[in-house]
């Protein structure tokens, strides 16, 4: 039996063929069997590139200049046939849309086993066991196209687990999962490591992964390893404005540093004004499918900043797709600025409401970032001077300056997500809708664009002030810091709608909607009698 460690990386560097800068530089580390390693760092720092080098996608699928070595159980990965790599290394990609090929869930999860020629009875048993392990056995016969983003993430994970890998690489595995599903997935990762599998978790949700006590943390900046060691020492090595750590740690460090952070100046809601968007008794079901939305009554007013929360498959994305006219109600009406969405043209909808898709690959197609951002406003016949102004402002807001001539599809998933957001900002629509805006985003970047989009004091930096903003998220802290209204959705119904401090204080309601309280929510609730509102951990440092 091979006694070599599952993974040895030595002096690894790589530069993509279409990029001038090096993606990773001189990276070295070893992972032992049964070790759970958290890999953290800013979007674009090289985490995904590192994962691609380990699972053999580099240099087979992604071309460029590579040096150094990656050894799996003592054997150089570049010398191993892809079919053999697939039998020992399981990979979950950042974007499940790129990983799912099968038309049905059962076929998708069985794909790898079929390629290994596993007998059909054993294959069916292993597929069902993998689905049940993730609590999605009920999806066995579902068509993959009808799944929510979170459900697709779980199916892709089941496809990796069913292969019974010895090394598991998970790239942003929590990005599309509701909080309870994320907890369940993390418990599985910890259990797999305890059973002897080497598990690498690439994740921006550092606080969540720290809860399962990873053995070590590898922290990267600009393609280089800046820290490799025990989790307890991480807080001393990283900038709390760059990496999101548990709220009590941030409060303590911010106080010690004398940080003078101010609460965000959120827009004022004007519930007395004419509605911007109305759902009137909206019901919806896909053709020959189950009903997804039930009797939705919802009114959005000027100044609303709404966080839409709820479990995977609850109907959140289906609901907002009705707002932008991609879907039409089976019964009921959706009224946008006084006009039924059934009667609006595509251009009329785009001027009124901009939508950032959950998966950036559903949006991006242009050869360069600049052309991607200019496409929308030009199709709305905005003056060329306005197009250029909007594009520059959108690049600045999303921290994409310097990437103007890059191909969007050559960027990291997190950067692609920001290109998608920037392309909608450049259109200057009146209402902004974002589906999972923080997926693939490091703390610093998502704080930057959310502050600019939502913060009233930063409004001048944007091309236009939005009449209202709505974002779907599984990141509860995003709702805590940026929303002035929270809507909980479960089983296709609105379960609660109101002020954040009222809705998010109801633990029983949160549990029913698979929302898990975070350390930031708990710290805010403790201080609410003195603060009178929710705010970031840095701002809470002023309230001992």
pLDDT at 457: 47
Bridge pairing between strands 75-76 and 277-285 = unpaired
Q: What is the average pLDDT score of the chain?
A: 91
Residue 156 has pLDDT above 60, yes or no: yes
Confidence of residue 464 (pLDDT cuts 50, 70, 90): very low
Average pLDDT over residues 328-336: 96
Q: How far is CA 539 from the centre of its chain?
A: 25
Give the distance between the most distant pair of CA atoms in the chain: 73
Q: Give the C-alpha distances (Å, rounded to integers) separating 32 from 38, 145, 196.
A: 13, 38, 9
pLDDT band at 387 (very low <50, low <70, confident <90, very high): very high
Give the DSSP H/E element, type plus range, for residue 12.
strand 7-16
Query: Cα(399)–Cα(419) distance, rounded to whole angstroms?
Result: 10
Residue 460 reports pLDDT greater than 60: no
Cα angle for residues 130, 134, 136 (degrees, 5° grid): 90
pLDDT band at 462 (very low <50, low <70, confident <90, very high): low
Token pair of 197, please? 């599998």
Q: What is the pLDDT of residue 134?
A: 87
φ, ψ (nearest 5 deg) of residue 537: -60, -40
**pLDDT value at position 67?**
97
Average pLDDT over residues 163-167: 92
Is 277-540 in the same CATH topology as 7-238? Answer: yes
Residues pairing with 283 in the sheet: 331
DSSP alpha helix (H) spans, 285-383:
316-323, 346-352, 369-379
Q: Is the pLDDT of residue 235 over 70?
A: yes
Contacts of 521-524 spanning 24+ positions with Cβ under 8 A: 521/476, 521/477, 521/480, 522/247, 523/247, 523/248, 523/251, 524/480
Output the CA–CA distances (angstroms, integers) from residue 329 to 286, 334, 335, 428, in the order listed. Answer: 10, 8, 11, 26
- Please name which of 428, 498, 431, 426 lies closest in space to residue 467, comparing C-alpha atoms: 431
User: What is the spatial distance between Cα 459 and Cα 242, in angstroms, rounded to a whole number?
Assistant: 23
CA dist., res. 354 & res. 283, Å (int): 23
> How are beta strands 64-72 and 331-336 bridged, if at all?
unpaired
The structure tokens listed for 309 are 């929360």
CA–CA separation, 382 vs 391, rounded Å? 12
Ranges of each domain in the chain: 7-238, 277-540
pTM for the full predicted model: 0.85
With a CB cutoff of 8 Å and minimum separation 6, the contacts of 184 are 134, 135
Between 462 and 319, name the one with better pLDDT.
319
Residue 2 confidence (pLDDT): 64
CATH topology of domain 277-540: Rossmann fold (3.40.50)
418-455: pLDDT as tens digits: 999 999 999 989 999 999 998 878 898 899 899 888 87
Fold category of 7-238 in CATH: Rossmann fold (3.40.50)
> Of 39-43, 275-279, 397-401, where does the model show the most confidence?
275-279
Mapped onto helix, strand or coil, the DSSP state of residue 143 is: strand
Tokens 């998970």 belong to which residue?
A: 170
> Which range, of 92-96, 226-230, 251-255, averages the lowest pLDDT?
92-96
386: part of which helix (H) or strand (E)?
A: helix 384-397
Q: Are 401 and 425 spatial neighbours (Cβ–Cβ below 8 Å)? A: no
- What distance in Å separates the CA atoms of residue 263 and residue 116, rounded to the nearest whole number? 56
Reported confidence tier of residue 459, pLDDT bands at 50, 70, 90 = very low
3-state secondary structure 171-230: ECCCCCCCHHHHHHHHHHHHHHHHCCCEEEEECCCHHHHHCCCCCEEEEEECCEEEEEEC
Quick one: pLDDT at residue 288? 75
For residue 309, what pLDDT band results from cuts at 50, 70 and 90? very high
Residues 6+ apart with CB under 8 A from 502: none
């Amino acid at each position: 039996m091979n006694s070599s460690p599952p993974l040895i990386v030595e002096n690894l560097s790589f530069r993509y063929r279409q990029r001038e800068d090096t993606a990773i530089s001189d990276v070295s580390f070893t992972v032992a069997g049964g070790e759970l390693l958290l890999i953290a760092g800013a979007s674009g720092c090289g985490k995904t590139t590192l994962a691609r080098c380990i699972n053999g996608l580099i240099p087979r699928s992604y071309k460029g200049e590579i040096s150094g070595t990656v050894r799996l159980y003592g054997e150089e990965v570049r010398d191993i046939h892809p079919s053999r790599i697939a039998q020992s290394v399981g990979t979950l990609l950042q974007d499940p849309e790129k990983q799912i090929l099968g038309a049905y869930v059962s076929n998708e999860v069985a794909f790898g086993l079929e390629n290994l020629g596993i007998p059909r009875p054993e294959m069916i048993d292993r597929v069902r066991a993998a689905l049940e392990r993730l609590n999605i056995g009920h999806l066995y016969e579902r068509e993959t196209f009808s799944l929510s983003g979170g459900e697709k993430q779980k199916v892709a994970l089941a496809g990796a687990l069913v292969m019974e890998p010895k090394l598991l690489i998970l790239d942003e595995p929590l990005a599309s999962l509701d909080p309870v599903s994320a907890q369940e997935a993390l418990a599985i990762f910890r259990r797999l490591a305890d059973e002897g599998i080497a598990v690498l978790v690439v994740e921006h949700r550092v606080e969540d992964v720290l809860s399962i006590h990873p053995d070590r943390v590898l922290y990267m900046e600009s393609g280089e390893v800046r820290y490799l060691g025990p989790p307890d020492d991480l807080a001393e090595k990283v900038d709390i404005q760059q990496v999101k750590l548990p709220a009590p740690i941030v409060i303590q460090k911010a106080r010690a540093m004398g940080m003078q952070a101010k609460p965000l100046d959120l827009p004022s809601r004007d519930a007395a004004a004419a509605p911007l968007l109305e759902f009137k008794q909206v019901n919806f079901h896909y053709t020959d499918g189950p009903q997804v939305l039930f009797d939705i009554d919802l009114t959005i007013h000027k100044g609303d900043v709404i966080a839409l929360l709820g479990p995977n498959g609850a109907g959140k994305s289906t609901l907002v797709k009705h707002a932008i006219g991609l879907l039409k109600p089976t019964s009921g009406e959706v009224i946008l600025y006084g006009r039924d969405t059934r009667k609006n043209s595509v251009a009329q909808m785009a001027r009124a409401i901009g939508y950032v898709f959950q998966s950036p690959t559903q949006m991006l197609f242009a050869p360069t970032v600049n052309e991607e951002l200019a496409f929308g406003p030009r199709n709305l016949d905005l003056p060329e001077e306005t197009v250029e102004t909007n594009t520059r402002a959108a690049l600045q807001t999303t921290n994409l300056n310097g990437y103007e001539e890059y191909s969007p599809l050559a960027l990291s998933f997190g950067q692609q997500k920001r290109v998608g957001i920037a392309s909608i900002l450049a259109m200057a629509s009146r209402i902004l809708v974002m589906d999972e805006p923080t997926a693939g985003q490091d703390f610093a970047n998502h704080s930057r664009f959310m502050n600019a989009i939502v913060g009233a004091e930063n409004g001048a930096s944007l091309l236009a002030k939005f009449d209202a903003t709505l974002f779907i998220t599984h990141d509860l802290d995003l709702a805590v810091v940026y929303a002035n209204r929270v809507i909980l959705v479960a089983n296709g119904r609105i379960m609660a709608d109101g002020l954040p401090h009222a809705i998010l204080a109801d633990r029983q309601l949160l549990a029913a909607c698979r929302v898990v309280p975070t350390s930031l929510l708990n710290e805010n609730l403790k201080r609410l009698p003195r603060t009178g509102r929710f705010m970031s951990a840095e701002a809470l440092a002023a309230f001992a």
